[in-house]
Amino acid sequence: MHYFKNFAKEVSSHGNEVLFTCRDKEVTISLLKHYGFRHINFGRNYKSKLGKIFGLFYFTFKLFLVALKFRPDMYLNASMYSAIVAWILRKPHISLEDTFNNEQVNLYLPFTSCVLTGDYPHPSLGKKEIRYNGYQELLYLHPNYFTPDKNVVELLAVNEEEKYMIIRFVAWNASHDFGHKGISYENKIKAITEFEKYAKVFISSESDLPSELQPYQIKIDSHMMHDAIVFASLLFGESSTMAEEAAMLGKPAIYLNDKSTFYTKHLEKRYDLVFNFSESEEDQLKAIDKGIELLKTPNIKEEWQKRRQKMLEDKIDVTAFLVWFMENYPESFRIMKENPGYQYNFK
């Protein structure tokens, strides 16, 4: 939802009508209600492999029925359902891609009109691909749109002199999560025990926490999570999205995943904003040690803001680019193919 909130506000101010369709996944509905966007909820996601196959047909059919009534001129999203519906109804469909999960890409690529990707190293998606100099998380965390709310520190009951950090656990039930186990329970406990020697620990989790970890659960409204990251000293966990969000905000991030992602690897190699570790026992322990090192490093906030500024100077305003691209499609596609440097009009 975050990806398109600023885009929706911009195009709506130009006289366009926007409808969000969604599944009832974690905080999506509460965010849509908070920002006041018109939306239709298709219900809960399916977790099993068989359920996901059924969901492909079920959610596509539900979206088709909505499209017949709403009659959109264009479709925009980062999943496969609307690509199929747009193809059936012969309307342009623009995809945003940053995970490069072949299982999903191979399903939607034949049906989409265009795929927008960041220009960090990643597999080519062919003639439909347009690369822009940025990250998807800049759609909502670029300083042109995001101003942190300092009240979050008071809501977290953190003293001015006190450090705090956020640990993020995921549920591992997405289609690209099969085969992953994440951080072991023993190392979750070890991480919390070690980190709280240097900072107050908050946990954000997609799934319910066991009773012994519930006292650490972060208790703020979902729309304030990015504010919480801004004033944190470290983001540690299993979510590539939150690791990237921390990087966009100039906060040290440690991300554990056997495959990592193309953008978290690039954020480490190019800007030293993220540290990538595998899910192996050895790497889990190394990641905890790295977290301790970062929490103990003096003046780290100033250093990470310098790294963030360097990153921002290289990147475009992705929301402004997306608004232009959608409102001028298909001419915008032709312009970007012939002159990719045109995107720098949106710095």
**Sheet of strand 114-118, all strands in order from the earlier edge strand to the far edge:** 75-77, 93-97, 114-118, 129-132
Confidence check: pLDDT of 140 > 60: yes
DSSP H helices in 71-136: 81-88, 102-108
Asked if residue 158 lies in contact with residue 201, where contact means CB atoms within 8 angstroms, the answer is: no
Q: How far is CA 256 from CA 19, 137, 166, 305, in A?
A: 35, 19, 14, 23
CB 11 within 8 A of CB 326: yes
Contact 115, 299 (CB under 8 A): no
Task: Categorise residue 299: left if φ over 0, alpha if ψ from -120 to 50, beta otherwise.
Answer: left
Return the amino acid letter for 254: I
CA-based torsion, 208, 214, 218, 222: positive or negative = positive
Residue 290 Cα to chain centre, angstroms: 23
Residue 154, strand partner residues: none
> Which H or E element spans position 252?
none
What is the per-residue pLDDT for 180? 45
pLDDT tier at 202 (50, 70, 90 boundaries)? very high
The pTM (predicted TM-score) of the whole model is 0.92
**Least confident piece of the model among 1-5, 142-146, 320-324:** 1-5
Fold identical between 2-137+316-346 and 151-313? yes
Instruction: Output DSSP code: residue 126.
Output: G
Looking at residue 174, its pLDDT comes to 46
Residue reference for tokens 């042109």: 144
Instruction: Give me 7's structure tokens.
Output: 């885009």
Sign of CA dihedral 256, 260, 262, 265: positive
Instruction: Give domain limits for the chain.
Output: 2-137+316-346, 151-313
Between the two ends of the chain, the Cα-to-Cα distance in Å is: 23
DSSP symbols for 286-314: HHHHHHHHHHH-TTHHHHHHHHHHHHHHH
Comparing 14-23, 73-82, 138-147, 306-315, which segment has the lowest mean pLDDT? Answer: 73-82
Residue-level pLDDT at 26 = 66
SS3 75: strand
Distance (Å) of CA 336 to CA 136, 229, 287: 18, 34, 40
Weakest-pLDDT range from 73-82, 112-121, 192-201, 290-299: 73-82
Match domain 151-313 to its CATH number in 3.40.710.10, 3.30.70.100, 3.40.50.2000, 3.30.479.30. Answer: 3.40.50.2000
Q: Is the pLDDT score of 189 beyond 80?
A: yes
> Residue 39's pLDDT is what?
95
- List CB contacts of 100: < 8 A, sequence separation 6 or more: 122, 123, 262
pLDDT of residue 57: 86
Per-residue confidence (pLDDT) for residue 171, from 0 to 100: 72
Residue 300 pLDDT more than 70?
yes
- For the chain, percent of residues with pLDDT exceeding 90: 82
Residue 287 scores a pLDDT above 60: yes
Reduce the DSSP state of residue 254 to 3 states and report it.
strand
Q: Which of 53-67, 113-127, 235-249, 299-313 has the lowest mean pLDDT?
A: 53-67
pLDDT tens-digit profile of 213-271? Answer: 999 999 999 999 999 999 999 999 999 999 999 999 999 999 999 988 999 999 999 99
Distance CA 288, CA 286 (A): 5
Q: Which residue has the tokens 């990470």?
A: 304
- Residue 173 confidence (pLDDT): 46
Mean pLDDT of the chain: 93
Options 3.80.10.10, 3.30.870.10, 3.40.50.2000, 3.40.50.10860; CATH of 2-137+316-346: 3.40.50.2000
Identify the band that residue 125 occupies on the pLDDT scale cut at 50, 70 and 90: very high
